[in-house]
Amino acid sequence: MAQASNMKNHQRRRCEQNCVYARYFPSERTEDFQNVHRLFGINNTMKIINSVNQQDRDKTVETLILEARIRNENPVHGPLEVENRLRAEIGKAKKELEIVNKQLQFFMGNNESPSDEGTSKQSARGNFTP
């Protein structure tokens, strides 16, 4: 309920043409604005946007939006939860790749460890008949 009343309050206020937010938060990005406003506040958001060069402001605002979305979706751990999940996925993918590489070595007739590849790879290939 509180979220709905916040949205109504901001929807009643119109940005003037020179408003810093008008460029980054058009009417279809109301939810993004609400998330950024809730996490950083108006004054801090303005300070952050004004602290970067003009050419970097688009990326800065997109970063603020991403951070606010992640914090909204994961209020307790925020971006750390996303990072941990991605690290776990990377670890799982690395293990899967290791298994696939071992299977590939086996099916190619090279059952030796990768450190032994240089010396006996030719002899293993020589025994392999297609």
Please work out, in degrees rounded to the nearest 5, the angle formed at the alpha carbon of residue 18 by the alpha carbons of 16 and 22.
Answer: 70
pLDDT of residue 12: 52
How far is the C-alpha of 92 from the C-alpha of 84, rounded, in Å? Answer: 12
Q: What is the pLDDT of residues 3-20, one digit of tens each?
A: 333 433 444 566 666 676
pTM of this prediction? 0.58
Q: What is the pLDDT of residues 50-82, one digit of tens each?
A: 999 999 999 999 999 999 999 999 888 888 999
* pLDDT confidence bin for 112, thresholds 50/70/90: low
pLDDT of residue 118: 52
